Chain A
Amino acid sequence: MTDRYSRQIRFRPIGQDGQDQLAERCVVIIGLGALGTASAEQLVRAGVGQVTLIDRDYVEWSNLQRQQLYTERDARERLPKAVAAKQRLCEVNSTVTIEAIVEDVTATNIERLVAQADLIMDATDNFAIRMLINDVAAKREIPWIYGACVASYGMTYTVLPKETPCLHCLLNHLPQQQDTCDTRGIISPAVQLVASHQVTETLKLLTGAKAALRRTLLSFDLWTNQQSQIDVTSLKQAACPSCGDAAVYPYLNGTPLQFVTLCGRDTVQVRGEGKRDLVRLENEIRARGMKSQRNPYLLMFETEQHRIVAFADGRILIHGEADPEQAKQTYATYFK
């Protein structure tokens, strides 16, 4: 056991001191797709004391190409990603305290979810959730690390409260998302490189090596061999609604939508009204003469047009539907 971290401790900038500090820290990882599983594995192997894993989704076959913690069995059983990731990570390093949370991160619950975080690792897949992370991180003064990739392109940026420009300073508003991994694909090396940058910045921050931080907005394209770094310090806005002197945290204080089309997925997510009794739902579905599949976290059934997944936390995914209005009707049919 004492040998576990010997190579990392021998790395001078970390050393025994840094290793001891890592053991005292908590990282909250939001999103457990490709980026989240890559950074979770590195952080757990590195011996960060507490790692909290949050994801709202379950493992599917198309995840296995790049989401490194999942197996065919996880996909067959449709295990929630947080649960499957925790199982694997506990095998990797049983000395780390790992918490798995199967929840949709919203304005309502995010402050509770990040309460213990020394750092928030962004491994999400859309701008709306990142703006929410950005708000809560500014409010609670927690550093967070943006990471994203699509195709062979990746980018990352480290946001330090009261120090660097925040995401809202850089973007001004919530952009429409155009490229997604579902429309343009993704290769695993792009994921790994973004995650490596994110984890390295995390190791620096958690061991107090702030002088070593990169301090730039970074992007690269592994296929076209381009890379770029920009010092964005000058973009910090004193009047920023998220990090400025009179911040109002607009995304944290906004009302969440009830029916949201998941970008590029031909899926509408319905945020439910609290926890759902899956056994009762299963009985109702069977009473309609339909088949369903249930595990402790979710229940899945298929209609003629849709595959519907109901989670124990109350959320519903309607696959095969991109129109929120249509989704409302489908929802009303089975859940009202």
Chain B
Amino acid sequence: MQTTRGGEYMQIRLNGKDYPLAEQTKTLHDLIQQLNIDEEVVIIEQNHQIIDRSRYMDTNVQSGDVVEIVHFVGGG
């Protein structure tokens, strides 16, 4: 999936792997929606800074960002 924003190829580093950003993925909220992860069990670090859960909606994702996402699961 080739994704561009203003003609620029959009890609982040997600959990140690390159990850192409879709056109509509503007914020961390969009990103975890796209990943189909439940927002209330997630911890996100963006460029080595943990982002508060209340700020996912208004935190933009930029090309080149290094993002780590850990989500809690219950099984065992």
A binding-site residues for B, Cβ under 8 Å: 31, 33-36, 122-127, 130, 147-150, 153-155, 170-173, 175-181, 186, 191, 194, 217-219, 225-232, 234-235, 263
Contacts of B6-39 to chain A: CB distance below 8 A: 14-17, 38
Give the residues in chain A near B41, CB-CB below 8 Å.
171, 175
Known: A230-B43, A234-B50. A225 touches B75 (CB 8 A): no
Question: Judging by beta carbons under 8 Å apart, are A155 and B73 in contact?
Answer: yes
Q: Pick the 8 closest A-B CB pairs, nearest first.
A: A150-B75, A228-B15, A226-B15, A181-B75, A35-B76, A219-B70, A177-B74, A228-B68
- Among B14, B43, B53, B75, contact of A149 (Cβ-Cβ < 8 Å): B75
User: How far does the alpha carbon of A191 sit from the alpha carbon of B75 in the complex, in Å?
Assistant: 10
Known: A178-B38, A225-B17, A230-B43. A219 touches B71 (CB 8 A): yes
Give the residues in chain A near B38, CB-CB below 8 Å.
175-176, 178
Give the residues in chain A near B70, CB-CB below 8 Å.
155, 217-219, 228-230
Give the residues in chain B near A155, CB-CB below 8 Å.
70-73
Q: Mark B34-76, 1 if CB is under 8 A from A, else 0.
A: 0000101101010000100100000000000000111111111
A sample of 19 inter-chain contacts (CB < 8 A) reads A31-B76, A34-B76, A125-B74, A125-B76, A148-B72, A148-B73, A148-B74, A149-B76, A150-B74, A155-B72, A175-B40, A176-B40, A194-B76, A218-B70, A226-B16, A227-B16, A228-B70, A229-B68, A234-B50
User: How far does the alpha carbon of A260 sit from the alpha carbon of B27 in the complex, in Å?
Assistant: 37
Known: A226-B16, A234-B50. A147 touches B74 (CB 8 A): no
Min C-beta distance of A135 to chain B, whole Å: 17
New A-B contacts (18) at CB < 8 Å, excluding given A148-B76, A231-B45: A31-B76, A35-B76, A123-B76, A125-B75, A154-B73, A155-B72, A177-B74, A178-B38, A179-B73, A186-B75, A194-B76, A217-B70, A218-B70, A227-B15, A228-B68, A228-B70, A229-B68, A230-B70
Min C-beta distance of A165 to chain B, whole Å: 10
Give the residues in chain A near B45, CB-CB below 8 Å.
230-231
Give the residues in chain B near A228, CB-CB below 8 Å.
15-16, 68-70
Min C-beta distance of B50 to chain A, whole Å: 6
Give the residues in chain B near A235, CB-CB below 8 Å.
43, 50
A150's nearest neighbour on chain B, judged by CB, is B75
User: How far does the alpha carbon of A230 sit from the alpha carbon of B69 in the complex, in Å?
Assistant: 8
User: How far does the alpha carbon of A173 sit from the alpha carbon of B43 in the complex, in Å?
Assistant: 14
B48's nearest neighbour on chain A, judged by CB, is A231
Min C-beta distance of B60 to chain A, whole Å: 20
- Among B17, B50, B72, contact of A226 (Cβ-Cβ < 8 Å): B17
Give the residues in chain A near B72, CB-CB below 8 Å.
127, 148, 155, 170-171, 175
User: How far does the alpha carbon of A131 sit from the alpha carbon of B55 in the complex, in Å?
Assistant: 25
Question: Judging by beta carbons under 8 Å apart, are A33 and B16 in contact?
Answer: no
Known: A226-B16, A230-B68, A234-B50. A173 touches B40 (CB 8 A): yes
User: How far does the alpha carbon of A75 sit from the alpha carbon of B34 in the complex, in Å?
Assistant: 41
Give the residues in chain B near A186, CB-CB below 8 Å.
75
User: How far does the alpha carbon of A13 sit from the alpha carbon of B68 in the complex, in Å?
Assistant: 31
Question: Judging by beta carbons under 8 Å apart, are A149 and B50 in contact?
Answer: no
Question: Judging by beta carbons under 8 Å apart, are B15 and A150 in contact?
Answer: no
User: How far does the alpha carbon of A150 sit from the alpha carbon of B73 in the complex, in Å?
Assistant: 7
User: How far does the alpha carbon of A218 sit from the alpha carbon of B71 in the complex, in Å?
Assistant: 9
Give the residues in chain A near B15, CB-CB below 8 Å.
219, 226-228
Give the residues in chain A near B40, CB-CB below 8 Å.
171, 173, 175-176
